Structure 1
Amino acid sequence: MKIAVVGAGTIGLSWTTLMLAKGHTVRVTDPRPDLAEAVRDAVHEFVPTVPGFAGEAEELLSRLEIAGSVEEAVGGVHAVQENGPERLEFKQELFAAIEKAAPAEALILSSTSGLTPSSMSARMADPGRLVVGHPFNPPHLIPLVELVGASEREVARAKEFYLSLGKVPVVVHKEVRGHVANRLQRVLFEECVNLVEQGVVSMTELDDIVTNSVGVRWATVGPFLAFHLGGGPGGLRHMMSHLMPYVPAEVQERLADQAEAVYPLASNEERAARRDRQQLEIISSKERDDDVR
């Protein structure tokens, strides 16, 4: 597959490395004068941390192409991954140009961390072609890609594409600025700032609290499943009814029903055992690297 990467900042360079490591030909464009050197340096730096790749950087660079313009980069490709500046007017002009120059069946994807596909595609002839494929940085290492788009067909095609790269693509069903992961991160970080500013804990103490509690837990099961398992035989329903009076009763009912549908209570013992194994592996890994901060 031939893929165009438009924009070679940190995220674009990370995508380029991953796509090369997965065997694709990657054509990169960016107005930066040191583009070729920057890509080579990034591939050498990132390759050792690409999951499952045991080759050498030089073998990947044989499939790298440098393009002098957006139009040159996207011509004849199967997919375009855009990573330009987070400026709406710039994105609108860029996607209109990409749509005109790229093949009719090429995927048009954006790494935008905050803008919505409907706003960025305003100048496209077929706005449904644009799908947000927002990675959690750096994309060559962190599995998540959030998918947002107006066309179910294009979102489904994008999902298959990211799965082929070894990613974990998750469909976001409604447009929302910042998507999901960044919104969660923002809320948590705002409270981190508040606690440090109020003198409740120091910065390093707060980091230790997170990395030795919710960080370990959420890495294995996520917030809803964590509380569903923590509620014992009654699951999330029991947990919310006893410890979460701030959640309205009707919302508790809906969430408990959903939890029991997707995480049947009969299998919770097995899920808890798997959670414990994974958490112990994370803790053991942290202990081995304890001398690095």
Structure 2
Amino acid sequence: MASVKNHDYQILPPSIWPLATAVSLFTMLFSAAHWFESMRANATLSAGAGHTFMIVAFVGFAVLIFSLYSWWASISREANAGEHTPVVRIGVRYSFMLFITSEVMVFGAFFWAFFKYALHPMAADGSFPLNYGVWPPEGVSTLNPWHLPLVNTILLVTSGAFCTWAHHAIVHNERRKAAIGLAVAIGLGWIFTMCQAYEYYEIVHGGEFSFSGNVYGAVFFMATGLHGAHVLIGSIFLLVCLIRLLRGAFTPKQHLGFEMAAWYWHFVDVVWLFLFVAVYIWGAGGSAH
């Protein structure tokens, strides 16, 4: 019969959500860029246009969140309906590996910038003499890596350990232990986010350095801020997995959504370890306080 499925592949029905995600993401980024530019220009005409771009950017962000929620909800329904066969799961794993590889490239760009200027720092006039460049730049008082950065490292590594414990519990069909492990992993991730927000507050109000004015601050906030965004996204990813687990969605043999969340969370852990060693410890030089 034509309606009987006689293969292991998944044939997806037409969906509006990929297109809606792409359009809303482009709208948000395009409008945000013009909004920031109008703020920098600080002109009367630009201020009115900037207000419009600000509204469009937030509308694009709202549509983006709704589109992603609807898209991922449909994927969860497909998994619960048994559409994720072994062949499909292999394809999803490979695609997620490629996604994480692209994330490695993104963070690699910021590490490249950091090491470029740390190993060959600019002089005050913007030139690159071998003997006169100073790193960290003059006037920058970097953070003591053995205070709050070390606490954040312990929090995130411990969270990764509980995530692994939850995965092990799912494989052995110990759902209660898996739920506890996931809940603790999520809680530690949120504590990490709050600690990093406090760290940013202390940096800005303490006058150590800022986003503008020197390359150290720009690279620091871009790299650690991007990582912080990944921690927030990963925490939401794990929270969705916890909700699905409590609803009986995962089994010892089929828990693909949790596997992807765990991979993502461990990637976030590894990136932070590189940031901690490279930026907070090695890159601080002798100016840490």
TM-score bracket for this pair, using the shorter chain length: under 0.3
Structure whose residues are more often strand by fraction = 1
Instruction: Give the TM-score of the pair, scaled to structure 2.
Output: 0.26
Q: Relative contact order: is structure 1 or structure 2 higher (C-alpha 8 Å, sep ≥ 6)?
A: 2
Instruction: Give the TM-score of the pair, scaled to structure 1.
Output: 0.25
